[in-house]
Structure 1
Amino acid sequence: MKIIIHKASNRGVADHGWLLAHHSFSFASFFDKDKVQFGALRVLNDDVIAPKMGFGTHAHKNMEIITIPLKGVLKHRDSMHEDWQSVLPGEVQVMSAGSGIEHSEINGSLEEHLSLFQIWIVPNKRDVTPRYDQKLFRDENHKNKTQVLVSSINENQENSLKIHQDALISRMDLDKDKSFKYHLKSETHGVYVMVIHGHVTISSTDLTTRDAIGISETKLFSIMSNEDSSLLFIEVPMAF
């Protein structure tokens, strides 16, 4: 088993006033040669956006972009849609940038800060037709078990959003003193686990809120929850 540990306090930080961003991997002005990516996982940003503020129209190509709102109201608009799309906590948004797409995101609230994760995964197919989707996932469906949020467009994984990569993004709320064994779908994959909140022990490593661990070269690993905890799992090919 190969393990990397990323403590919350060691993430990159960018404070723009309207945006407070924490970067798990090298992004924008933050560069760490040991944190360029984890397999096909290229970006995991933990953003807090001030009311009425956001990212103006900008372009992307050949990237699978997944956004998970945690608190507040996300408003999204892209070159495929004239109208603003609302994405709320409990929902997940996916966008295959493919051959090229322009989009913008703003905090749709006049008073409340918006908190979200943005994930970029390198696709296994380039220059595809851009696509957009979003879906609501019920909290009760990831209580003490994983709920798959995103999977490969080539797999018949029901009730999940789809991307162009052999990846799985899952979420789980684990009660205090509960244990769980995560089984990887392939020994060529790795799993990057972010503690959204709480305190868990994974493979003898203590992790608290916003700590992360990357695990590869194994079939499974164990998790023990030391308090009520919420976890995000990003499973990706390590070679692609």
Structure 2
Amino acid sequence: MAQTIFHKAETRGHASHGWLNSHHSFSFGTYYNAERMNFGALRVLNDDTVDAGMGFGKHPHDNMEIISIPLEGDLEHKDSMNNTAVIKNGDIQAMSAGTGIYHSEYNQDKDKRVKFLQIWLYPNQRNVEPRYDQITLNLADRHNKLQQVLSPNPDDAGVWIHQDAWFNLGKFDKGTTVDYSIHKAGNGVYAFVLSGQVQINGQTLNTRDALGIWDTEGFTITATSDAEFLLMDVPMEF
């Protein structure tokens, strides 16, 4: 029988640094909850808002797969691999920190904030060569269907990472239903609602609510209003 864990939006950790407003689905920074350390290989899901002209200065990472999904505004990325890029809504960025990198993220716009999801996954290989990838997605490909945006396979749709994980985005009209099959035995899905309301196996989720589901081959997701959501299919053991 499927196992589930339900995380209401308001139960997330919260940090306000003036220029940065962040909600943490899992323990991060000054927010610590022993029961909210990770969901399988999914270690961090931060829902960040960065004020105009502000950002994260140069800082290090290693042995983590880091994914950024912009929801609003433009975010400039610079790293120690000499990459400089701007990511905006409709893009997805993946970075394998591996043996170690430095990067910075700034909102260069002087009058608009940036909203983005910062997601970290434990890798299935340590000390890989650091790498960076960014693509622009076709937003029409998630209208009333699931759009794969990440996988372990460089030849598959979306960006790729060093983990047996698959991410899908959906933007559904009210009443749209889809059956989701978990990609790999031993994986579970952490479903995160960006806007609107959905039901998964009878559980109602509203904006920024999340449901983890595992020990199942799949589930049904129904939009009970116009809704947008992210499905993160990750190994439960790693």
User: TM-score, normalised to structure 1's length?
Assistant: 0.97
* Aligned-partner Cα distance in 1 for 2:108–2:169: 25
Conserved in 2, the CA contact under 8 Å of 1:173 and 1:230? yes
One of 207, 210, 221 as aligned partner of 1:209: 207
Residue 163 of structure 2 is aligned to residue 165 of structure 1: yes
Conserved in 2, the CA contact under 8 Å of 1:191 and 1:215? yes
Specify the alignment match of 2:38 in structure 1.
Answer: 37
| Equivalent residue letter for 2:126 | R
Q: Which runs of 5+ in 2 are unaligned?
A: none
Q: Secondary structure at the match of 2:141?
A: helix
Equivalent positions of 1:79-98 (< 5 A) are 79-81=80-82, 84-98=84-98
Structure 1, residues 108-141: CA drift from partner, whole Å, max 9, x if none? 2110010000000000001111000100011110
Q: Which runs of 5+ in 1 are unaligned?
A: none
Residues paired across the two proteins, number = 237
Specify the alignment match of 1:118 in structure 2.
Answer: 118
| Equivalent residue letter for 1:213 | L
User: TM-score, normalised to structure 2's length?
Assistant: 0.97
Specify the alignment match of 2:196 in structure 1.
Answer: 198
Question: How far does residue 160 in structure 1 lie from its aligned partner after superposition?
Answer: 1.5
Structure 1, residues 145-172: CA drift from partner, whole Å, max 9, x if none? 111111104x642x31110000001101
| Equivalent residue letter for 1:204 | G
| Equivalent residue letter for 2:121 | I
Conserved in 2, the CA contact under 8 Å of 1:64 and 1:95? yes
Specify the alignment match of 2:149 in structure 1.
Answer: 149
* Aligned-partner Cα distance in 2 for 1:147–1:225: 15
Q: Secondary structure at the match of 1:81?
A: coil
Residue 55 of structure 2 is aligned to residue 57 of structure 1: no
Q: Secondary structure at the match of 1:140?
A: helix
Q: Secondary structure at the match of 2:140?
A: helix
Specify the alignment match of 1:184 in structure 2.
Answer: 182
Question: How far does residue 174 in structure 1 lie from its aligned partner after superposition?
Answer: 1.2
Specify the alignment match of 2:235 in structure 1.
Answer: 237
Q: Secondary structure at the match of 2:4?
A: strand
* Aligned-partner Cα distance in 1 for 2:222–2:159: 28
Q: Secondary structure at the match of 2:46?
A: strand
RMSD between superposed Cα atoms in Å:
1.0
* Aligned-partner Cα distance in 2 for 1:194–1:223: 12
Q: Secondary structure at the match of 1:104?
A: strand
| Equivalent residue letter for 1:160 | G
* Aligned-partner Cα distance in 2 for 1:149–1:223: 18
Question: How far does residue 223 in structure 1 lie from its aligned partner after superposition?
Answer: 1.2
% of aligned pairs identical? Answer: 45
Structure 1, residues 86-123: CA drift from partner, whole Å, max 9, x if none? 11110001100000000000112110010000000000
Residue 64 of structure 2 is aligned to residue 66 of structure 1: no
Conserved in 2, the CA contact under 8 Å of 1:61 and 1:101? yes
Structure 1, residues 36-77: CA drift from partner, whole Å, max 9, x if none? 000000000000000110111000000000000000010000
* Aligned-partner Cα distance in 2 for 1:203–1:30: 30
